[in-house]
Structure 1
Amino acid sequence: MPLLSTLKYHLRSITSVILLGACAIYGVVISCVFNVIGQKRLSQWSTARCFNLIMGGILGISFKVINEHYLNESAPCIFISNHQSTLDILMLGRTFPKGCTVTSKKSLKYVPFLGWFMSLSGTLFLDRANRDKSVNTLNKGLQRLVKEKGSLWIFPEGTRSRTTELKMLPFKKGAFWLAKEGKIPVVPVIVSNTSTINNAKLKIFNRGEITVKILAPESLENIETKEQMNEFVARIENEMNDELKNNVGYSTPIDSTGVPQEYLDWLAKKQACDSTTDVETESVDVIDANVSANDEAVTSDNESTAVSADVEVHNITVSSSRKK
């Protein structure tokens, strides 16, 4: 069984790379077209949907999006979400709103097809070795998105976590200061842990469903000091971790073979809680049914009493009439 699982992992990984390349080629072509007709801001959205439909469809990966309306109602804004694996490309493919762009490390700019597409579509490339240059790139991108009422998608963890646990890496504050400078909100996005679907260490690459939950926009207009920013970032980070741990949880795999033990423990605990909730619900239903039955019985007794009283009054009336 481990051999078959490993073989499946490698086959699906190779397939995903081929599909990634094909979608990137589409991205290059469509970006050229949109640039010519003056609709460059639609390049990444169109290519993102291609990633979701083609890659997601063939690999058997679907998405459940909660509070999807925030994706299109919040611009201009900065979306912040947890960063886990290559499956984040599919997540962006499903959720990416029109007029949105992403940041990426500068080295990806030179990758054939993918880098070309990213360059043509307006991706903000950051040079991690040159902080001043990165800040300048972000400031220019910020001015553009505010002017065009677009949005920017940033992963505040700074790198992929690749974790099997329900927790995120500590957040960096750059995205939040950027939002403060642009006077725009941040929109937290929580993605379920995807280690149950794709995990290089465990050699698993399953079909399944990934949950994405978008929270309400958070304004930074009252942030004035570094201490206030630290408190704000800590609060957002804690809220996102709480949502991940208590609500969003793990992605649901079609095949549970070889999945992380943390997922199996979480699933067992969740099923136990669900069973307890079902029992409590059934008990409440029984109590409600008994109360309803008692109410009906009381109502029936009252009606019988009323009928008897009416009969007695009628008899008395009749008797009185006869005496007269």
Structure 2
Amino acid sequence: MSFLMSYLIKPLAYLSLPALVLRYLSDRSPIVKYYVRLTTYLSTLGVLSIWGVLVSIGMTAMGKRFDINYVVARSFYYVCGPLLGIDFVVEGEEHMSTPSAVYIGNHQTMLDILYLGRIFPKQSSIMAKKELKWAPLLGQYMALSGAVFVDRKNSKDALHALAKAGDEMKSKGVSLWVFPEGTRSSSEAPDLLSYKKGAFHLAVQAGVPIVPVVCENYWRLYRKGVLDEGTLKIRVLPPIPTKDLTAADVTELAERTRESMLQTLKDISVRVPSDARESTPKPSTVPTPASVPESESIVDVRELLPEGKSTSREEAPTASQRSVAGSESEATDEDMVVVDRP
């Protein structure tokens, strides 16, 4: 028996030694702590991506493909959240059960994946650029989870994909998650970039409500050289109806939604203490989470169609048709919903 215990305990002791050393160094060096925690986050993301492919295969076979994102997102949150010591308090979570809606959230850094893991709704999907369909693992996972792939270089195909997504939302009760800022933006003061209009055109076309979701500004927890523990607030605002709206209302709808979300962001965000600003480490080579190229954003909303194109019909268009036509004449290919690698 003692031999068996020795056989088991010694390997565990050797394996735990690096973890203890890293823990010791993390407690004494903010930079080491940052890198250790960042590596933990990215490693967990990598492992869960493999899990996502396995889940997508099984749930597709069960006829639950539109719940794949929900299961994988929750899995990531329940694994990575405790590892990093980051938790969320959610207000208005009852609005996340809104059937068939366009959910829009503020986009700060790659840490947004963690807050998505906490609240991503069931029966929800994403729209992604066509190139990702062939990405190893990611493309297969997205295809199995019901993602709508869009060719940004072909405006006709983009319009068709938009119409198809709207029809699917109405017929199957599917929702869509979008970051309307189009790229990540993080700063000490809570703020939002201007909104792209693709998500709003889609909501109007499908006649589904828009549900704004705001995560507080977490610059104090995650910025260059810093990744700390803490509790963050998420506030889900009441659904904004789009029934009877047309493409002519999209600009005002987007602006009104942004103003509401910006005010909420300021209300729920914790003021950054002066000592936190002064104590920010300044390593020579640290990945910058605050701002990344647009092609690397998680969900990127881009213009749907080239400017100046229009359609003509003998019959008066319906509200849904007017929205599609409006997006065709007004938008460009920089307002599409695009999902990219984190």
After TM superposition, the score normalised by the length of structure 2 is: 0.68
Q: CA deviation at 1:176?
A: 0.8
1-side partners of 2:30 and 2:93: how far apart?
34
Q: 1:236 aligns with which of 257, 260, 270?
A: 257
User: Larger helix proportion, structure 1 or 2?
Assistant: 1
1-side partners of 2:264 and 2:185: how far apart?
17
Q: Which residue of 2 aligns with 1:113?
A: 137
Which residue identity does 1:194 align to in structure 2? Y
> Compared with structure 1, are the counterparts of its residues 62 and 137 closer, same or farther at alpha carbon in structure 2 (3 Å cutoff)?
same
Give secondary structure in 2 for the equivalent of 1:58. helix
Q: Which residue of 1 aligns with 2:234?
A: 212
> Compared with structure 1, are the counterparts of its residues 259 and 151 closer, same or farther at alpha carbon in structure 2 (3 Å cutoff)?
farther
2:204 and 2:247 in contact (8 A); partners too: no
Q: CA deviation at 1:113?
A: 3.2
Q: Which residue of 2 aligns with 1:23?
A: 48
Q: CA deviation at 1:216?
A: 0.6
Q: Which stretch has the larger CA shift, 164-173 or 5-14?
A: 5-14
1-side partners of 2:255 and 2:228: how far apart?
34
Give the length in aligned residue pairs: 254
Q: Which residue of 2 aligns with 1:159?
A: 183
Q: CA deviation at 1:8?
A: 1.6
Q: Which residue of 2 aligns with 1:203?
A: 225
Q: 1:4 aligns with which of 9, 19, 29?
A: 29
Q: CA deviation at 1:132?
A: 4.0
Deviation string, structure 1 residues 43-76 (Cα, Å, up to 9, x no partner): 111101101101112111111110000001x111
Deviation string, structure 1 residues 158-189 (Cα, Å, up to 9, x no partner): 11113332110001111111111001110111
> Compared with structure 1, are the counterparts of its residues 165 and 120 closer, same or farther at alpha carbon in structure 2 (3 Å cutoff)?
same
Higher-Rg structure is: 1
Q: 1:71 aligns with which of 88, 93, 96?
A: 96
Which residue identity does 2:47 align to in structure 1? A
Q: CA deviation at 1:210?
A: 1.8
Q: 1:223 aligns with which of 221, 237, 245?
A: 245
CA RMSD of aligned residues (A): 2.7
After TM superposition, the score normalised by the length of structure 1 is: 0.71
Q: CA deviation at 1:235?
A: 1.3
2:101 and 2:210 in contact (8 A); partners too: yes
1:193 and 1:251 in contact (8 A); partners too: no
Give secondary structure in 2 for the equivalent of 1:71. helix
Q: Which runs of 5+ in 1 are unaligned?
A: 261-324
1-side partners of 2:196 and 2:141: how far apart?
27
Q: Which residue of 2 aligns with 1:134?
A: 158
2-side partners of 1:129 and 1:4: how far apart?
48
- Aligned pairs for 1:286-297 (under 5 A) are none
Q: Which residue of 2 aligns with 1:94?
A: 118
> Compared with structure 1, are the counterparts of its residues 29 and 224 closer, same or farther at alpha carbon in structure 2 (3 Å cutoff)?
closer
Q: Which stretch has the larger CA shift, 24-33 or 102-111?
A: 102-111
Give secondary structure in 2 for the equivalent of 1:184. coil
2:200 and 2:254 in contact (8 A); partners too: yes
2-side partners of 1:77 and 1:259: how far apart?
40
2:204 and 2:246 in contact (8 A); partners too: no
Identity of aligned residues (%): 34
Q: CA deviation at 1:236?
A: 1.2
2-side partners of 1:87 and 1:141: how far apart?
27
2-side partners of 1:25 and 1:251: how far apart?
38
Q: Which residue of 2 aligns with 1:249?
A: 269
2:125 and 2:146 in contact (8 A); partners too: yes
Q: CA deviation at 1:109?
A: 4.3
Deviation string, structure 1 residues 99-145 (Cα, Å, up to 9, x no partner): 01123445554544344322321223444444443343333222222
